[in-house]
Amino acid sequence: MKTLDKLQPGEEAAITAIHGQHTALRRRLLDMGLTRGTVVRLVRTAPLGDPIELRLRDYALTIRKSDAHLVEVA
């Protein structure tokens, strides 16, 4: 299983699932546009590795690596 936090800068992937028991966090990720089938590209990682900047749906999104670990991609 590959997740968003494992992408390398410049790499693109399509979201296949969003995991997590915490319904509030899962809902927040969905509200930010991280839905199944969406293509995302990792733009860059912060100097210390967290957070990461993603490009999706013509906007930039910055999220924590711990949150990105819940998003499965292919």
Report the CATH number that the domain containing residue 13 is assigned in CATH. Answer: 2.30.30.90
Q: Beta strands of 1-74 (E only): which ranges?
A: 2-3, 12-18, 39-45, 52-56, 59-63, 71-73
Task: Note the pTM of the prediction, 2 decimals.
Answer: 0.90
The tens digit of pLDDT for each residue in 6-62 reads 999 999 999 999 998 777 999 999 999 999 999 999 999 999 989 999 999 999 999
Beta-bridge partner residues of 73: 2, 15
Q: Tokens at residue 67, please? A: 């949150």
Count of structural domains, the chain: 1
Q: Tokens at residue 24, please? A: 């509030």
Domain range for 64 is 2-73
Asked whether the beta carbons of 48 and 55 are under 8 A apart, the reply is no
Residue 64, pLDDT > 90, answer yes
Calpha distance 74→48 (Å, rounded) = 26
